[in-house]
Amino acid sequence: MLVTMQSLLAEAKKGRYAVGGFNCATLENIRAAVAAAEALDAPVILEYAEAHEQWIPLAEIGPIMLDYARRARVPVAVHLDHGTTYARFVEAIRLGFTSVMVDASALPFDENVARTQEIVKLAHSVGVTVEAELGHVFNSSIGAAKGAVADAEEEHEDLDAIYTDPALAKAFVEQTQVDCLAIAFGTVHGVYLSEPKLDLPRVARIRDAVGIPLVMHGGSGVKPEDYRTAIQNGICKINYYTYVNQDGGEAVRRHVENGGDRVFFDAVSAVATEAMQKHYEEAIALFRARD
Ligand code: 13P
């Protein structure tokens, strides 16, 4: 069933678990994510990032995401990830998306606030949830969105200037009235080229300052124990894509290498879906694990 992201995250915050925000650039992602959520009787968030325009337009895949969400046996929110243009927010909301993310964290604080306020006014007027971002989430040179400038923790001397500041986060949330906040604490979009070193105490300080659900971007590739602590410290949504996408690709590679003389595309789609469903199930189980 299609639900607002706000309702999913309120439950997650109360229950101290996180909901997977799974990016959908293909039908295989959608089928695998919904099947995994149904298998574990867990809620899920299907996301479309603007960067996925290189694979499929929002106008084509958006209605399919919504159709799967409406027919699912579990609660599903459908979310625009990393939205930048006003037209795109309107497009997603008109399609029926129940949530949008304003990606304005590269702008100075006041401009991020102003941009976010504009989208909050639009989205809240029709009951759509808003996520915004404060701080800078790193981008890997492998697997991050097309056009993202690659960087890593080692390249920055002053991490305090990059990671989300709790006091600023409090002011940001008060001024914008966003429903959830994506924060920077050492995660990386794309493939981790060195062991992730996360500032997990910072997550708890931000939670205590803002009081709303927090979002982890660059969520795939993190150690299981780090998910646990991040969730205990206030993360309620984990954006997760690169490593499941890679697993689907590796399953296809094995299928092609072991498949004999001919490769048929329907079988390729099926093996990728199966591998990704398994991966999503493991991720969902980790995000809901109890100590
Ligand atoms: P990963 O692809 O690194 O898992 O990050 C996904 C993400 O943050 C999408 O917004």
* C-beta 248 within 6 A of ligand 1: no
Ligand 1 atom closest to Cα of residue 243:
4
* Cα gap 51→28, rounded to integer Å: 17
C-alpha atoms less than 13 angstroms from C-alpha of 31 in its C-beta half-sphere: 11
Ligand 1 atom closest to Cα of residue 190:
3
Helix (H) or strand (E) holding 18, with range, is: none
Residues 73-125: tens digit of each pLDDT: 999 999 999 999 999 999 999 999 999 999 999 999 999 999 999 999 999 99
Lowest mean pLDDT among 115-129, 156-170, 237-251: 156-170
Q: Which of 137, 216, 240 to mutate to test the pocket of ligand 1 (most atoms within 8 A of CB)?
A: 240
**What DSSP state is assigned to residue 125?**
T
Residue 218 Cα to ligand 1 middle (Å)? 4
**How high is the pLDDT of residue 142?**
87
**How high is the pLDDT of residue 216?**
98
Residue 128 Cα to ligand 1 middle (Å)? 22
Residues 222, 199: contact at Cβ < 8 Å?
Answer: no
* C-beta 190 within 6 A of ligand 1: yes
Q: Rounded to two decimals, what is the model's pTM?
A: 0.96
**How high is the pLDDT of residue 291?**
64
- CA dist list (Å): 268 to 66, 255, 278: 24, 7, 16
Residues 219, 286: contact at Cβ < 8 Å?
Answer: no
* Cα gap 20→283, rounded to integer Å: 8
From 41, 67, 81, 261, the catalytic residue: 81
* Cα gap 146→130, rounded to integer Å: 24
* Cα gap 223→266, rounded to integer Å: 34
Residues 168-214: tens digit of each pLDDT: 999 999 999 999 999 999 998 988 888 888 999 999 999 999 999 99
Q: 149: burial class by Cβ within 10 Å (0-12, 13-18, 19+)?
A: exposed
Taking residues 246-271, report their average pLDDT: 94
Residues 142-154: tens digit of each pLDDT: 888 777 777 777 7
Question: Is 81 labeled as catalytic in the residue annotation?
Answer: yes
**How high is the pLDDT of residue 260?**
78
Helices vs. strands in the chain: H and E counts, helices first: 10, 10
* Cα gap 213→237, rounded to integer Å: 8
Q: Which of 79, 138, 187, 217 to mutate to test the pocket of ligand 1 (most atoms within 8 A of CB)?
A: 217
* C-beta 81 within 6 A of ligand 1: yes
Ligand 1 atom closest to Cα of residue 242:
2
